[in-house]
Structure 1
Amino acid sequence: MPTSDTPTRSGVVIVGSVTADLTTFSQRLPVGGETILGDDFTLGLGGKGANQAVAAGRAGANAAFVGCVGDDLFNELVVTGLSDAGVNIAHLRTVPGPTGIAHIRVDASAQNDIVVVPLANARLDAEQVDLALAALAPTTSVLLTQLETPLTLTAHITARARELGITTILDPAPAAALPDAVWRNVDIVTPNETEATVLSGIAVTDAESAALAGQWFLDRGVGAAVITLAERGSCVVTASGATLIGSIAVEAVDTTAAGDAYAGYLGAALASGSSLAAAVQLATAAGALAVTQRGASPSLPVRAAVDAFLGTNGAPVVTLAP
């Protein structure tokens, strides 16, 4: 039982990428070799890791970020964006050279395409990860990580978290083949339907096929799979079976950071003691709210808004047949 002198392990640490997001908005996306006129442009904090950290911070979690930023003109944008969201940046390392860049194009239907150039993110290394996790472990219960940092580090990050007794959530994006040793150290994997298809080899088109893909992850040692199916909701697969947690209908403006809002809120909810089903419902509401606003980090909602939205727009839970 913790005493007043013993910190509780309710924090969330995010190990991942950070970018400066350059986003253009146009009625449609150009075809190869074509130039079109756009409607708007934004510049802001992004990167899957940083977005998830901001989301966790806005969810009310004690969030800390581990990553690398360049010493260029985008350094202040990154530092300010994370700090303003209440994220601990003691383990954000400034390295020589440019900050990572994401070029995002969004059309009138809210669909997007993205080119990510890692740059400073490629400088994240095992020593930095080890120092950060050792310092944060006494107050941290959940780790979020993704695949926008060097793949060679993923095994190290997940293994170290397991050694320290930290629940690990892997957002496998962009999808890439991983050795079974990595899967055995992942407590929860959160692919979307495309990523689940690429990784498992099972075409994910509905809740039933998502359940099959989820079992593929469990067969490799993952504790639970949460496969997001856009407007069809989320398929949650555990050793006890599969359930479908429905989506919440909204009018989408920009889907860029929906998955990151979802991941950050999922981690924050689990760190606060919520069940996986309750955490997924909260994450669903956060992801839905995120797509109603433009930009990556600017679209990530605050907890009061998410609670109010979920309170009037519940996400139904359906048990799937085995």
Structure 2
Amino acid sequence: MSVTEIPSRRGVVVVGSVTADLTTFSQRLPARGETILGDDFTLVLGGKGANQAVAAGLAGAPTSFVGCVGDDLFHRLVVESLSAAGVDITHLRTVQGPTGIAHIRVDDSAQNDIVTVPLANSALDATQIDRALTALAPTTAVLLTQLETPSTLTEYITGRARELGITTILDPAPAAPLPDAVWRNVDIVTPNETEATLLSGITVTDAPSAALAGAWFLERGVGAAVITLADQGSCVVTPTSTTVIGAFPVTAIDTTAAGDAYAGYLGAALASGAELADAVQLAAAAGALAVTKRGASPSLPGREEVDALLAENAAAEGATAL
């Protein structure tokens, strides 16, 4: 079902993870067994699900989040941060125990490594998902989900969204093998080059190899594949065409949450009725801006920033702004 078929549906629902992100910044990452001195530290809202919800909210879409948070000292951080971005947290469930945690290390080249501990996220279950999606379906056009939720739930999430006529976007991160039943319920998959390589078995390094990997997803029933290639842009593979949408040149400081900014803006644009190519361009601008700031949720750009970058690009390169 197209997101434009039901005019009353303009919302985005995100089913996914939420964490407290503890991030250290240093000139380089330590070698195995080494201790080094860092330059800075932040504690902010994170988790791929929560980040995507914040991004979709900042993009202007009515956004709801479905997930679990602990009843510990990080509970307030999660609730206040999601609410501040305009995200509906009616279906954010508080469970006993600690909130999910992500430990992120970032070096001066903007590269990072991450250890995520699910904790409260593991409490997400089919009953909570079904209750939320059933309630939200009348006003929801797009569902975003990722692979930081319990793997046994991915098939249920995507299948239930298909039954309710909600367009499903899967960010397959962290990459993990999925049954064909999941792929058949996915309208758009958005892997980066590493994830596309791991999932398809095709080494993705450029647009031609991304196109081959995209075809692999379509062969398994996915409606369209949008493979992100960092500064090489995005390769969009559909049953009728393969196109490359260019990247926006920026100076990267921290790549954390760039993919989440991309996914959130993509979902918001599609929910508003945008065509896929236009939605990808908007998403690419949001992802580019996210790498210019430190942190996860604090790096997610507002709509005015994204529109300004699109306008600059149109002026400089003759592109058509959304």
Fold-level similarity (TM above 0.5): yes
- Equivalent residue for 1:302? 302
- Equivalent residue for 2:212? 212
Tell me how far apart the structure 2 counterparts of residues 32 and 249 of structure 1 sit (CA, whole Å): 34
User: Is 2:92 the counterpart of 1:92?
Assistant: yes
Tell me how far apart the structure 2 counterparts of residues 101 and 149 of structure 1 sit (CA, whole Å): 13
Q: CA, structure 1 residues 187+316, in 2 after alignment: closer, same or farther (shift >3 Å)? A: farther
Tell me how far apart the structure 1 counterparts of residues 9 and 94 of structure 2 sit (CA, whole Å): 27
- Whether the aligned pair in 2 keeps the contact of 1:102 and 1:114 (CA below 8 Å) is yes
Describe the superposition over 1:135-190 as per-residue Cα deviations: whole angstroms up to 9, x where unpaired: 00000000000000100000000000000000000000000000000000000000
RMSD across aligned positions (CA): 1.2
- Equivalent residue for 1:181? 181
- Whether the aligned pair in 2 keeps the contact of 1:51 and 1:261 (CA below 8 Å) is yes
User: Is 2:113 the counterpart of 1:122?
Assistant: no
1:147-226 paired onto structure 2 within 5 Å: 147-226=147-226
Question: What is the number of residues matched between the two proteins?
Answer: 312
Letter matched to residue 268 of structure 2: A
- Whether the aligned pair in 2 keeps the contact of 1:145 and 1:170 (CA below 8 Å) is yes
Tell me how far apart the structure 1 counterparts of residues 299 and 11 of structure 2 sit (CA, whole Å): 23
Tell me how far apart the structure 1 counterparts of residues 230 and 318 of structure 2 sit (CA, whole Å): 15
Moved >2 Å (runs of 4+): 314-317
Tell me how far apart the structure 1 counterparts of residues 295 and 82 of structure 2 sit (CA, whole Å): 15
Q: For residue 65 of structure 1, give the secondary structure of its aligned residue in structure 2.
A: strand
Tell me how far apart the structure 1 counterparts of residues 221 and 20 of structure 2 sit (CA, whole Å): 35
- Whether the aligned pair in 2 keeps the contact of 1:245 and 1:316 (CA below 8 Å) is no
Letter matched to residue 130 of structure 1: D
Q: For residue 198 of structure 1, give the secondary structure of its aligned residue in structure 2.
A: helix
Deviation at 1:219, TM superposition (A): 0.3
Tell me how far apart the structure 2 counterparts of residues 45 and 313 of structure 1 sit (CA, whole Å): 30
1:73-152 paired onto structure 2 within 5 Å: 73-152=73-152
Describe the superposition over 1:222-245 as per-residue Cα deviations: whole angstroms up to 9, x where unpaired: 000000000100000001121000
Deviation at 1:313, TM superposition (A): 1.7
Deviation at 1:210, TM superposition (A): 0.2
User: Is 2:54 the counterpart of 1:54?
Assistant: yes
Question: What's the TM-score once normalised by structure 2's chain length?
Answer: 0.96
Tell me how far apart the structure 2 counterparts of residues 232 and 115 of structure 1 sit (CA, whole Å): 27
User: Is 2:23 the counterpart of 1:23?
Assistant: yes
Q: CA, structure 1 residues 227+192, in 2 after alignment: closer, same or farther (shift >3 Å)? A: same
Q: Which runs of 5+ in 2 are unaligned?
A: 1-5
Q: Which runs of 5+ in 1 are unaligned?
A: 1-5, 318-322
Tell me how far apart the structure 1 counterparts of residues 219 and 241 of structure 2 sit (CA, whole Å): 13
Deviation at 1:316, TM superposition (A): 8.7
Deviation at 1:8, TM superposition (A): 1.0
Q: CA, structure 1 residues 231+13, in 2 after alignment: closer, same or farther (shift >3 Å)? A: same
Tell me how far apart the structure 1 counterparts of residues 274 and 56 of structure 2 sit (CA, whole Å): 14
Letter matched to residue 135 of structure 2: A
Identity %: 79
- Equivalent residue for 2:12? 12
Tell me how far apart the structure 2 counterparts of residues 31 and 275 of structure 1 sit (CA, whole Å): 46
1:283-298 paired onto structure 2 within 5 Å: 283-298=283-298
Tell me how far apart the structure 1 counterparts of residues 13 and 85 of structure 2 sit (CA, whole Å): 14
Letter matched to residue 89 of structure 2: I
Letter matched to residue 15 of structure 1: V
- Equivalent residue for 1:261? 261
- Whether the aligned pair in 2 keeps the contact of 1:7 and 1:138 (CA below 8 Å) is no
Question: What's the TM-score once normalised by structure 1's chain length?
Answer: 0.96
- Whether the aligned pair in 2 keeps the contact of 1:17 and 1:148 (CA below 8 Å) is yes
Q: For residue 168 of structure 1, give the secondary structure of its aligned residue in structure 2.
A: strand
Letter matched to residue 63 of structure 1: T
Q: CA, structure 1 residues 259+316, in 2 after alignment: closer, same or farther (shift >3 Å)? A: farther
Q: For residue 129 of structure 1, give the secondary structure of its aligned residue in structure 2.
A: helix
Describe the superposition over 1:298-322 as per-residue Cα deviations: whole angstroms up to 9, x where unpaired: 00011011001111124899xxxxx
Q: For residue 306 of structure 2, give the secondary structure of its aligned residue in structure 1.
A: helix
Letter matched to residue 264 of structure 1: G
User: Is 2:235 the counterpart of 1:230?
Assistant: no
Q: For residue 89 of structure 2, give the secondary structure of its aligned residue in structure 1.
A: strand
Letter matched to residue 190 of structure 2: T
Deviation at 1:89, TM superposition (A): 0.1
- Equivalent residue for 2:3? none
